[in-house]
Amino acid sequence: MESYFVEKSLPFYDQLYHKIKKMILDGVFKPGERIVESKLAKEMNLSRTPIREAIRVLENEGLVVIDEKSRIIVYNPTVKDVEDVYQCRMALESLAVKLSVQRASDQEMAEIEKVLELCNNKIEQREYDKDEVIDLNFQFHNLIIHYSANDLLQKHLNSIKSRLHLYRILNFQGDDRAQIIYNEHKKIFDYMKEKNETKAAEAMVEHLNHDYKHLIGLLAT
């Protein structure tokens, strides 16, 4: 718990939001677990007001829910949630990759390729930092979305960003997941380099569909 304490010299609201979010993503707070404001305030030696403000932002991001008894519950993904999110991702990210093929400069394409190379280098290490690989996978998707140069598309995907981060963490469970995900990212990018936007979009949908099925399998168990 010590690593999640807040430095009082820094703004409470911003610090609390990031600290509690990290505790959720790191699994300190488990899906379905109740967060008690008074207990958290006591442990962090803070008043409940800034904690309540941070919780409100996390609720808007979908990482906590407030139940009918006004209890704060850590978001626990359901099959329907995952299905809804991945339907949106398949539609929007397949469009994003098409637009990126059309609009990204050579330098921007090189930046995407560099992220892939870094990810591959990490995976080839006998013991790699899983969080670093997850972050690089996030960067791969985020760069494609950014270089689509479609502000509305980016806005829609940004609205579910926190849940996507949680799903990415869950999606790493299982044998050889890092390598499988890298191989699928490489396939998408190879089509991008060939300027084949149709094939790149199809590969993106195939990749996201594999992620979706893997997550559904995890939830079932």
Query: Is 92 found in the same domain as 63?
Result: no
CATH of the domain at 37: 1.10.10.10
Residue 136 · residue 122 · CB < 8 Å = yes
Domain extent at residue 38: 2-74
| pTM as predicted | 0.85
Query: Is 88 found in the same domain as 29?
Result: no
Query: Is 176 found in the same domain as 120?
Result: yes
Q: Which of 34, 59, 74 is the last residue of a domain?
A: 74
Can you spell out the DSSP letters for 26-91? Answer: TTSSPTTPEEPHHHHHHHHT--HHHHHHHHHHHHHHTSEEE-TT--EEE----HHHHHHHHHHHHH
98 contacts: CB under 8 Å, gap ≥ 6: 197, 198, 200, 201
Q: Which of 48, 74, 100 is the last residue of a domain?
A: 74
- Assign 63 a pLDDT band (cuts: 50, 70, 90): very high
Q: Per-residue pLDDT tens for 152-193?
A: 999 999 989 888 989 998 898 888 999 999 999 999 999 999
Q: Per-residue pLDDT tens for 201-211?
A: 999 999 999 99
Query: Is 124 found in the same domain as 111?
Result: yes
Q: Per-residue pLDDT tens for 100-111?
A: 999 999 999 999
Query: Is 194 found in the same domain as 142?
Result: yes
The phi, psi pair for 72, rounded to 5°, reads -90, 120
- Assign 126 a pLDDT band (cuts: 50, 70, 90): confident
Residue 14 has a pLDDT of: 78
Which is more confidently placed, 218 or 14?
218
Q: Which of 20, 39, 74 is the last residue of a domain?
A: 74
Query: Is 202 found in the same domain as 100?
Result: yes
CATH of the domain at 153: 1.20.120.530
Residue 113 · residue 161 · CB < 8 Å = no
Residue 115 has a pLDDT of: 98
- Assign 45 a pLDDT band (cuts: 50, 70, 90): confident
Residue 140 has a pLDDT of: 98
- Decide if pLDDT at 13 tops 70: yes
State the chain's mean pLDDT as an integer. Answer: 91
The phi, psi pair for 219, rounded to 5°, reads -65, -35
Q: How many CA atoms are closer than 13 Å to the CA of 15, on its beta-carbon side?
A: 13
**Which residue in this structure is represented by tokens 């996978």?**
137
- Decide if pLDDT at 8 tops 80: no
Q: What's the domain count of the chain?
A: 2
Query: Is 35 found in the same domain as 119?
Result: no
Q: Per-residue pLDDT tens for 34-44?
A: 999 889 888 88
Residue 75 · residue 166 · CB < 8 Å = yes
